[in-house]
Amino acid sequence: MQDFKMTGREFLELDSLQHRLYLERFKQMEVIHKILSELPKADQNLCNHGAYFLAANSSLCGLAANNFFRNILHVRKASLVSALPMAVIPFLSTAVVYEVFVRQPLFSGELNCEVCAVVRGGLIGAVVGGFYPIFLALPVNASLAARYSSSPLPGKENLIRFWLTTAQPVFRKMSLGILVQLLTGLYLATKHHGIYLKVLQRMNTRGDPEELQD
């Protein structure tokens, strides 16, 4: 019975500790966002809207990959049907993934490692912003080619080899776009971490974070 009481007491203490840590984290986030609102407009715009530039490049990669596959598969119909998802989906995916894995952890105080932030930004730029639109364009145009019979498609036994052969020239043509996305992601994450360091410097010069609430 005593062991059960001790276990219950320890559980309550752990719950109380987690609650205090949550409140401290929430207070720190409020301080960070307050200081962000006091930074120069250029820093604020880069912080709040910089990921949209990476996302816009993803849309361009998606449209370019879509165009390459349409030419290879001789698809001449449903241009808007194929272009719309290739512009919208990569844009939203890149913006959301960058927000979740780079920007939000940085400006909530959870990601303090510059190398980690920069590597994340580069990977998101290359994989989500570069490779993903190409992989997305393949099934979109494959379904259109099958629907409109624009290009002879192989049987199941040669399907993988056929699509690998079809995708190779697209990946070669898109290699520059993938490199640009990689460098853009690295640059954006580096700038965001620099802004985060400015916030930390202001926090240190002001002393007690509770004073910022006044």
DSSP sequence for 141-179: HHHHHHHHT-S----GGGHHHHHHHHHHHHHHHTHHHHH
Query: Whole-model pTM?
Result: 0.82
Per-residue pLDDT tens digits for 62-89: 999 999 999 999 998 988 989 999 999 9
Is the pLDDT confidence value at 209 over 60?
no
Q: Does some domain include residue 80?
A: yes
Give the separation between CA 140 and CA 172, rounded to whole angstroms. 19
Mean pLDDT, all residues of the chain: 85
Range name among 14-28, 136-150, 193-207 with the lowest pLDDT average:
14-28
Q: What pLDDT, on the 0 to 100 scale, is given for residue 202?
A: 85
Q: How many CB atoms lie within 10 A of CB 25?
A: 13
Q: Does some domain include residue 84?
A: yes
Q: Does some domain include residue 104?
A: yes
Give the separation between CA 72 and CA 68, rounded to whole angstroms. 6
Total number of domains constituting the chain: 1
Give the separation between CA 155 and CA 158, rounded to whole angstroms. 6
Proportion of the chain above pLDDT 70, given as a percent: 83
Spatial contact of 54 and 128, defined as CB atoms under 8 Å apart? no
Is the pLDDT confidence value at 3 over 90?
no
Per-residue pLDDT tens digits for 129-184: 999 999 999 999 999 988 888 888 777 777 888 888 989 999 999 999 999 999 99
Q: Does some domain include residue 94?
A: yes
Q: Does some domain include residue 116?
A: yes
Is the pLDDT confidence value at 6 over 70?
no
Higher pLDDT: 3 or 13? It is 13
Give the separation between CA 47 and CA 110, rounded to whole angstroms. 16
Q: Does some domain include residue 105?
A: yes
Q: Does some domain include residue 150?
A: yes
Distances (CA, A) of 173 to 67, 84, 112, 176: 11, 21, 37, 7
Instruction: Give the domain range for residue 174.
Output: 40-213
Q: What pLDDT, on the 0 to 100 scale, is given for residue 25?
A: 64
Q: Does some domain include residue 24?
A: no
